[in-house]
Structure 1
């Protein structure tokens, strides 16, 4: 897929406009969105992603469109899992509900910048060293095993890292969020940072860790940097509204970690098989590809990912419903 410079520029310009509109809306009226508002925005961003895929199909063919949809769905599902940790961060720092939109939006902007850097670095590595797929594949399988071991304990995914502890010591902090601004001026004229700064650092550094999982995963689906970037953009853009839409439903997705672990392991194995098929390492088969290693087509990857996430979601909701019925019965007795 040959993506011209003007297509990249147009895409980046559209992204800046969308972010500017979001910042304007949230900045002028900080509030907790209603279910209707959140649902409308989530539907809008999903519709944009689907329309973008159709546009790719028309202009570039079915393969790029299939790779985009598969990558977007993978990144979107991983982003939903990240919302668990964002909820923990919000609770840990007692962020008022009306300011959580602003925190999430700025966190998304930071995530886009960091992931853009990761994508550029990953694309350069892949272009120069095809054997990096071996590392990506092993890392994704390792991540899947770790995800299964951690289970539902999302507290382990967020710990106050050295950057957060340093910021708490260095910056003069106020005790309240005030009006949701980053700084406040006291009656004595002293300027203090609000706890919002620490929350931003927590969200940003946590997403940096998440990117270590998600970027290798999507490179296992497509090597085209443009598709990797746009899939990440569409996965992140509706995340803020999805946070408020799902709400308590997130706690009911008890099998989501298992589903995501399977998806990551599947992509890891797919990457490793592809690395074997296109092998260039001299100590493996004399530097020649192993043709017995199958190449998994994109349509099969899409089916596996949709099927796995669908089964995990349905099983989670069934289990949660049964658990609630048991609790009600025990309470009645």
Structure 2
């Protein structure tokens, strides 16, 4: 356990430092984040995500203090890793285990990053509906992502505990993901709308806080005549946190279809979330060009859900995590290429 806490603690410290540097670079003033800056930060976060994969490939066994065959067999059984080790070759077995962790981590990262695109569609709609100027997007997303990290941490480790205690819950997750994917496909062309006045989160906040419709610079709160009001900036932050909570119901089970190790789920999830903000500014003005992405994401969820429902049979058939990674990347690539080759017709 001490090794897990050290590995986890080191990861958290690294993320906090990188986030602090990120905030320091972009939070000096309220101004829109440029496409160039977003591209640079996106590349940096992807680089660190891939670099962490290399760390797992070399030192992944240190996460659970695996240095002997007995411990390795225990961890493989505990986290349902679909690998067969050579009990007479410790070095080769650890290398295989580390490789498996790395593939699971990268697959989970790609899944979460892909599902985050749907989150961007909703964020663009929310900012527009609440009338938030572009120069304040960054501040809202910063606090939104910090809240998302805390919520995902809770979700992931609670989910891992449920899976460990009730193995059948994987079938529930799988059926839910298939249903969500089918629903997303059916509603792929449906125009989403947000009513700022009647949104459940806004009604809830209005019941416990005094709300002002007026923005006060980049402030979340406004004090007038000794009375504290929440601004539309704070309301949209609450709605974004609520929306992420809804998205987590899809994305967390999706990654558990890839790996049952909660630490690997957490690492892949957090790197994807941290890259979401820069990806938002990268795609905010061109997101509509990828009109087949929702179709791709729908098929992605259906595939992941089906994999969870059929995991026992697939393992017997020889289906590995690397096969999932290939299929997932293929689905995303096809949806992106199709969007570019067959652009959406402009409405007259």
TM score, norm. by length of structure 1: 0.87
Correspondence list, 1:263-302, <5 A: 263-274=300-311, 277=312, 294=317, 296-302=319-325
Q: How much does 1:255 deviate?
A: 0.9
| Aligned-pair CA distance for 1:169 | 3.9
Per-residue CA shift, 1:71-112, capped at 9, x if unaligned? 000000000111000000000101111110011111111111
Residues 157 and 231 of structure 1: CA distance in aligned 2, closer, same or farther (over 3 Å): farther
Give the structure 2 partner of residue 101 of structure 1: 138
Aligned to 2:72: none
Task: Say whether 1:75 aligns with 2:112.
Answer: yes
> Partner of 2:214 in structure 1?
176
> Partner of 2:330 in structure 1?
307
| Partner SS for 1:185 | strand
Q: Tell me the equivalent position of 1:45.
A: 45
Distance in 2 (alpha carbons) for counterparts of 1:52 and 1:143: 31
Shift of 1:157: 8.5
| Greater displacement, 213-222 / 30-39 | 30-39
Q: Where does 1:180-329 land on structure 2 (aligned, <5 Å)?
A: 180-186=218-224, 188-274=225-311, 277=312, 294=317, 296-320=319-343, 323=345
Counterpart contact for 1:255–1:315, Cα < 8 Å:
yes
Root-mean-square deviation (CA), in Å? Answer: 2.3
Residue 151 of structure 2: aligned partner:
114
With the length of structure 2 as denominator, give the TM-score of the two structures. 0.83
Counterpart for residue 280 of structure 1: none
1:29 counterpart residue number: 29
Q: CA deviation at 1:26?
A: 4.3
- How many angstroms does 1:166 deviate by? 1.8
CA 1:272–1:48: 2 relative to 1, 3 Å: same
CA 17–154 in structure 1, closer or farther in 2 if over 3 Å, else same:
farther
- What is the alpha-carbon distance in structure 2 between the residues aligned to residue 3 and residue 121 of structure 1? 21
In structure 1, distance between residues paired with 2:195 and 2:41: 28
Report if aligned partners of 1:38, 1:244 keep a CA contact under 8 Å in 2.
yes
Aligned-partner Cα distance in 1 for 2:283–2:322 = 29
Report how far residue 54 of structure 1 moved: 1.4
| Matched position secondary structure for 1:36 | helix
Structure 1, unaligned runs of 5 or more: 278-289
> For 1:10-29, what aligned pairs fall within 5 Å after superposition?
10-29=10-29
Q: 1:193–1:317: structure 2 CA closer, same or farther, 3 Å change rule?
A: same
- TM-fit CA distance, 1:243: 1.1
- Alignment CA distance shift 1:203-1:130 (3 Å): same
> For the Cα contact (< 8 Å) 1:85–1:158, is it kept in 2?
no
Post-superposition shift, 1:5?
A: 1.4
Post-superposition Cα deviations, 1:205-232, rounded to whole Å, max 9, x if no partner, equal 0110000000000000011111100111
Which residue matches 1:6? Answer: 6
SS of structure 2 residue aligned to 1:181 = coil
Secondary structure of 1:176's counterpart equals coil
Answer whether contact 1:172 1:193 (CA < 8 A) is retained: yes
* Aligned-partner SS, 1:223: coil
Which blocks of at least 5 consecutive residues in structure 2 are unaligned?
Answer: 61-97
Q: Is the 8 A contact 2:162 2:169 kept in 1?
A: yes
Q: Distance in 2 between matches of 1:226 and 1:157?
A: 35
